[in-house]
Structure formats: C-alpha cells, structure tokens
Amino acid sequence: MMRMTRRKLLVCSPLALVLIGLQAVTKRAAAPAGDPLIEGFRKVTVASVADAVDQVVGKRGFLAHDVRPQIPGAIVGRATTALLRPAPPEKATPALSARHSVEMIDNAQPGQVGVIVVEGTLDVAGLGGLMGTTAKARGMAGVVVDGSVRDIAELRALGLPVYARGVVPSSSVGRYASVGRDIPVECAGVTIRPGDIIVASEDGVVAVPSEKAEEVLKRAQEIDARETKMVPLIKQYRSLQKVVEMFNRI
C-alpha cells in the first residue's frame, strides 16, 4: 500500500501539487473572526438583498446583468478594491499596469472580496491565474471584476469564485495602468467602497453600503420570510394574484 501511495504522489502534476498546498494554506487562512453581518447575509437570497437595498438605500445595489459567475460559487464578504484606467504604453508598464490590484490581493484579509475595475473596456483582463492563486492562498472569498478575466482553466482548478463581464486572453500591460487601491470605485453601475458587503450568486452581484448593512440585512430577512410563507399558499390556491393580494408583495 505504501509503494502505491508513493507512485501516485510521484505522478502528480505540478498544478495538482500546487492545489494541494493551496488547500492546506487556505484552510489555515480562511478562518476570520465571525462577523454577524456576514453570517447573516450568507443565509438570505441575493434577490432579497437587491430588493432590500432598493428599499432601504433608495438606489440600486445590484451590478450590471453581465457580471456573471465565470467561476461559479456564492460570495459573501467585505470589499477591497483596485482601479485601472487606460494609459499610454510608457505608463502601462509591467510594473504599473496591475500594481494596485496585486497590492490589494497581497494585503487582503481572509474572507474579503476583491473588486477590480478595468474602466471602459471588456477587452482587457483584470484578473488571471497568478493573481487568482494568490487570492486563494490568502483565503479571499472571491473576486468581482468590472472587466474581463483570463486563465479560466487555472482559476477553475483553484475553485475561487470569480464574477466578471467577460473572458479574454489579453493583458493590461501596454494598455492600462493601475491608479489606486482601497478607494471608492464605480463597478458595473454601482459605487463600491472598501468595507461594503458584496453578496453574489447565480442571480448576480449586489453591493451593500456598510453603514446600511444591518438595516438591509433585516429587510432582506423579512422579504425571505414573507416569500417562504407565500409559496405553500400559491400551491394551495394555484393563484399568484390571490396570494399577492394577501401579502401585498411580489
């Protein structure tokens, strides 16, 4: 049995060995002190969070419809941000093109969500395999990119949830320069600030302003609870209109 185990280890690919190491590191890193708001948002639906932001904040919190899960997985966590803007080649050097994105990930705390904005294009990747590997190693909850991503096979192997507007093979080098991290950013139609709560699923991505998070969570819980009560009545009466009138809700 020992000989068989050794043979199996010897034929492991380099990527498999890296992933095994990452899993061990991530288990150690991804154990932040419990945040009751984060735990609460894990238990409500993204659609209810979007409705709750509409009602509590008075403006949308949901990102544009084309920010989709390129690497599936639910995300709940506090935002840490990076911003890239178009730049001439002499300013879009390898050292500067992704500087703040790299710094943002290198300094991320376990459970945080990276929000990377590549202004004005879907033809430049804001995240690739190396950055994704680092995000996974640091125990980040996921990454949201207003722009595109690349190295999809590598990101998929990592199992790190990644939401983006597209997939391209291009680099930001020679095209874009990084201009800041942990600053407010306009991400797919929504202003996101460091510390805001990001909630994402197959339904899409919602940003919850940190100062309204407790109120939004309470409202989302109320919406979920009400809809849970509506479902059996819809089945009973076989009428949505009747139940909507009973609950004044759709």
| Predicted local confidence at residue 236, as pLDDT | 62
Q: What's the DSSP call for residue 193?
A: -
The whole-angstrom separation of Cα 115 and Cα 126 is 10
| Predicted local confidence at residue 15, as pLDDT | 47
* Location of structure tokens 């909507």: 244
pLDDT in tens, the chain (250 residues): 334 343 333 344 444 444 444 444 444 444 455 899 999 999 999 999 999 999 999 999 999 999 999 999 999 999 999 999 999 999 999 989 999 999 999 999 999 999 999 999 999 999 999 999 999 999 999 999 999 999 999 999 999 999 999 999 999 999 999 999 999 999 999 999 999 999 999 999 999 999 999 999 999 999 988 876 666 756 765 656 765 667 666 5
The whole-angstrom separation of Cα 202 and Cα 72 is 8
The whole-angstrom separation of Cα 39 and Cα 13 is 37
Q: Which domains does the chain have, with CATH numbers?
A: 36-210 (3.50.30.40), 217-247 (no CATH)
187-191-195-196 Cα dihedral, nearest 10 degrees: -100
239 CB-side CA count, 13 A = 8
